[in-house]
Amino acid sequence: MSVSIGQTPLIRVVSHSLHINAITVTSPHSISKRFPFIFSLHRSTTATPPPNLRAVRRRSSSSSSASTMSYDRQLAAAKKAASLASRLCQKVQKALLQSDVQSKSDKSPVTVADYGSQALVSLVLGKELPSFPFSLVAEEDSEDLRKEESRETLHRITELVNETLASDGTIDISPLSEEDVLKAIDNGKSEGGPHGQHWVLDPIDGTKGFVRGDQYAIALGLLDEGKVVLGVLACPNLPMASDEKKGCLFYAQIDAGTYVQSLDGSPPTKVHVSTIENPEEASFFESYEAAHSLHELSSSIAKKLGVKAPPVRIDSQAKYGALSRGDGAIYLRFPHKGYREKIWDHAAGYMVVAEAGGVVTDAGGNPLDFSKGRYLDLDTGIIVTNKKLMPALLKAVQDSIHERSSSL
Ligand SMILES: Nc1ncnc2c1ncn2[C@@H]1O[C@H](COP(=O)(O)O)[C@@H](O)[C@H]1OP(=O)(O)O
Ligand SMILES: [Mg+2]
Ligand SMILES: [Mg+2]
Ligand SMILES: [Mg+2]
């Protein structure tokens, strides 16, 4: 069965589940209610001027240096970098989806997009902000790419980066060599930490979704004195609204709210998290991949809260973006034992949700601490919702975790 809006088939039933551009639920019930982000305009659509006219903005209160500061220039550069990276990723994903089955199981297309995206973001930030100190904490490094067997891949990445820069036309970088690309990737080796400013990048978050043709994100944040002060999330496959094409750019700056615009440049719209207070009316997001998050734990929490709707499963930090505009009210993430969360998997998403009025904590109710280097030190998992629902959610989370550990 398939359901179409305009020319684009949005739904196809795959075995016993609905599959909506990477969004899977367990039963075909009340689709429009469960997927407001696909089927109706999301709630917070008041046109508001972008925040980049604000000259002065309060800086994070713990900062010991200047007490006020604007991150407008960094935000403009971050939006440009993430948009260009998403152009590169879209090109690769399109080619990947058109390729035959054999090359789909080959890991190289996603590798090309991962490295290409990281190189582009690193280059664009450096070029757009020449007078700023540059430190980047990013997921990838060039070690494997420097090996003899990666020659072809490196060649392809360099070609793609050059093509993408040329297609933009506003960044004056003469064609880059393979060595330039390797260096740009390795600029992401910073360790971050509590002092100074550090960019935080996941060049493709949700690689599994990327390969499936589903959701993924380019996630770029900025830390200042250990706190996230800016976040940009490019989600090339997330629809803006029911009648619009795919491609959302979410962005947020500390004390300045969260905005979304289409990746091809529509005017920005201010967004806000869901205002639902009754958990029975809430719907929740979790990972598509059961290997990334314990689905049975989320399900027990949802049951305790009285949540009626089945989980909305999507890949990547697109979950944070969708939640920031009220598409769902709760995001639950419980990695398997031993998994350590990285800062680039949450910095941008955290900012987008926090500035849209949401709350992000670990399963113990503690705020996330991005100042400890490349990893987040967490109590068990990450939970996200609005301020009204958080106390009940936290209680349900702690009760469920307690029950689970007593039964193991
Ligand atoms: N075993 C794992 N448990 C939790 N998260 C994982 C695991 N392996 C990879 N990830 C990361 O989880 C994130 C995506 O999770 P999800 O899509 O489920 O929200 C990605 O950052 C992905 O990395 P990557 O950036 O390499 O894709
Ligand atoms: Mg990731
Ligand atoms: Mg990644
Ligand atoms: Mg990865």
Assess if residue 29 is contained within a domain.
no
Give the residue, 261 or 69, on which the prediction is more confident.
261
Q: Both 227 and 207 in a single domain?
A: yes
Q: Both 255 and 334 in a single domain?
A: no
In terms of residue numbers, what domain contains 110? 72-271
Q: Both 266 and 377 in a single domain?
A: no
Mark whether 207 is an active-site residue. Answer: yes
Assess if residue 67 is contained within a domain.
no
Look at the pTM and tell me if it is higher than 0.90.
no
Q: Which of 72, 111, 114, 380 is catalytic?
A: 114
Confidence at 236, pLDDT banded by 50, 70, 90:
very high
Q: Both 161 and 253 in a single domain?
A: yes
Q: Both 398 and 250 in a single domain?
A: no
Confidence at 68, pLDDT banded by 50, 70, 90:
low
**What was the pLDDT predicted at 105?**
56
Q: Both 278 and 251 in a single domain?
A: no
Give this complex's ipTM.
0.95
Which of 297-319 are b and which e, b meaning 16 or more Cβ less than 10 Å from the residue's Cβ?
A: bbbbbbebbebebbbbbbbbbbb
Mark whether 114 is an active-site residue. Answer: yes
CATH code of the domain containing 383: 3.40.190.80
> What is the 8-class DSSP label of residue 104?
H
Q: How far apart are CA 143 and CA 161, in angstroms?
A: 19
| Selection from 19, 27, 25, 21 nearest residue 1 by Cα | 19
Of 205, 238, 271, which marks where a domain is finished?
271
Q: Both 264 and 243 in a single domain?
A: yes
CA 272: distance to chain centroid?
A: 17
Q: Both 243 and 335 in a single domain?
A: no
Q: Both 256 and 297 in a single domain?
A: no
**What was the pLDDT predicted at 107?**
66
Q: Which of 111, 158, 164, 207 is catalytic?
A: 207
**What was the pLDDT predicted at 41?**
28
Pocket probe for ligand 1: among 201, 316, 323, the residue whose CB has the most ligand atoms within 8 Å is 316
Q: Both 101 and 245 in a single domain?
A: yes
Question: Number of folded domains in the chain?
Answer: 2
Q: Write out pLDDT tens, residues 11-42.
A: 222 222 223 344 444 333 333 333 444 333 23
CATH code of the domain containing 162: 3.30.540.10
Q: Both 195 and 282 in a single domain?
A: no
Mean pLDDT for the stretch of residues 186-210 = 97
